[in-house]
């Protein structure tokens, strides 16, 4: 019973941290004026929480499990997937102008599909993908489309657009001869909006693919290291340090980054990285207390979008009056679809396939 309660607490920690992650990171990157600098802050937070602290604990008191080549490799891959997912979120909300209130539900809606398909691949159990799974997949797609179509707008964006339109109408009224030029001027703007929207979708897809792979890959790494909690976390921290600190640091100069190391931005971005690292720790603890990717991730991916929405509204990142009921309905459909996909996904071994006591555990 205690183990089950511990697993639920770990799942709740992950869902909360990852649900708050997007809005906090969006504020931090905005304050810094740089996607690269925000990404570096995430990596630095992981360095402290996922490398320094676990190494100190491991050196002082030790822990069950051991370092193995397979465990290190899988855990490093999990960390790389997590870092690339974080980069996808930053690109979507900072570079391409997406809003966390709809970007994160898309990511958390698509990630379960990737999680389930990868789990089926690793366990060779595609024959367990039945009608309920396909129904859940349809729910995810339907909910994601609803979220995109009825997504809220950023604060003040609507008034600004109205003001721009009013100014344009006044100019046209004062200078009738320039009327033919107006439609031509709108074409580049429409194309720019389309390009940015496509960029948001591609970056969100990158995040959902990476974070969808995170759970099954991390579970394999932890299993290969004898159920260790700290060793996989250290490997995740190493991957984040390499991908999210050293690489962006090398790119600051060549890319002509114009951001600043603003104190407020640093705190918000470091806070986002800390949330990500604590979420990773929560996932590891959930697995260590008997959870599996197909039981842990449904709750995480189902609850995180809801937490993300309320956090975004609480932080005034989105005007509450722009959140339509149909958007919230789409959000719930995404969450329900994500939970259905994972709840009815493959459990590891194909039915009827015998496996003895020495066979590997299902992942």
Q: 307-344 pLDDT, tens per residue?
A: 887 888 888 666 677 778 888 888 788 778 777 766 77
Question: Residues for the chain: how many in total?
Answer: 363
Residue 101: per-residue pLDDT: 79
Residue 242: per-residue pLDDT: 95
Nearest to 248 by CA among 217, 273, 231, 230: 273
Asked which of 4-8, 90-94, 294-298 is least confident by mean pLDDT, the reply is: 294-298
pLDDT digits (tens, 9 = 90+) for 249-303: 999 989 889 899 999 999 999 999 999 999 999 999 988 888 777 667 767 877 7
Tokens 């984040």 belong to residue? 240
More confident residue, 4 or 32: 32
Diameter over CA atoms, the chain: 85
DSSP H or E run through 196: helix 181-224
- Look at residue 132 and give its three-state secondary structure: helix
C-alpha–C-alpha distance, residues 344 and 323, integer Å:
31
Name the range with the highest mean pLDDT among 145-159, 167-181, 286-300.
286-300
pLDDT reading at 188 higher than 80: no
* Residue 263 structure tokens: 């104190």
**Cβ proximity of 145 and 326 under 8 Å:** no
Domain residue extents for the chain = 2-176+207-343
């Amino acid at each position: 019973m205690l183990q089950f309660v511990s697993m639920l607490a770990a799942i709740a920690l992950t869902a909360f941290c990852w649900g708050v992650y997007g809005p906090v990171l969006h504020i931090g990157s905005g304050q810094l004026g740089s996607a690269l600098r925000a990404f570096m802050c995430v990596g630095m937070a992981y360095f402290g929480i996922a490398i320094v602290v676990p190494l100190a604990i491991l050196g002082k008191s030790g822990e069950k499990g051991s370092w193995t080549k397979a465990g290190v490799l899988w855990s490093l891959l999990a960390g790389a997937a997590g870092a690339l997912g974080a980069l996808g979120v930053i690109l979507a909300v900072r570079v391409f102008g997406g809003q966390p209130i709809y970007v994160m539900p898309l990511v958390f809606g698509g990630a379960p599909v990737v999680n389930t398909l990868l789990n089926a691949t690793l366990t060779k159990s595609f024959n367990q993908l039945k009608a309920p799974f396909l129904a859940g997949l349809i729910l995810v797609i339907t909910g994601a489309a609803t979220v995109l179509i009825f997504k809220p707008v950023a604060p003040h964006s609507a008034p600004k657009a109205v003001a721009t339109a009013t100014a344009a109408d006044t100019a046209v009224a004062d200078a009738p001869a320039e009327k033919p030029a107006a439609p031509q001027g709108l074409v580049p703007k429409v194309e720019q909006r389309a390009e940015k929207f496509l960029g948001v979708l591609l970056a969100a897809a990158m995040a959902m693919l990476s974070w969808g792979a995170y759970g099954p890959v991390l579970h394999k790494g932890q299993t290969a290291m004898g159920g260790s909690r700290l060793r996989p976390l250290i490997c995740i921290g190493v991957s984040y340090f390499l991908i999210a600190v050293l690489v962006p640091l090398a790119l600051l100069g060549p890319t002509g980054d114009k951001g600043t190391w603003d104190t407020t931005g640093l705190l918000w971005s470091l806070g986002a990285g800390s949330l990500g690292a604590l979420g990773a720790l929560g996932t590891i603890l959930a697995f260590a207390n008997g959870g599996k990717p197909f039981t842990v991730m449904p709750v995480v991916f189902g609850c995180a979008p809801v937490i993300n929405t309320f956090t975004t509204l609480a932080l005034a990142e989105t005007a509450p009056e722009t959140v339509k009921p149909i958007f919230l309905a789409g959000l719930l459909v995404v969450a329900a679809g994500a939970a259905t996909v994972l709840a009815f996904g493959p459990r590891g071994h194909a039915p009827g396939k015998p496996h003895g006591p020495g066979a590997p555990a299902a992942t």
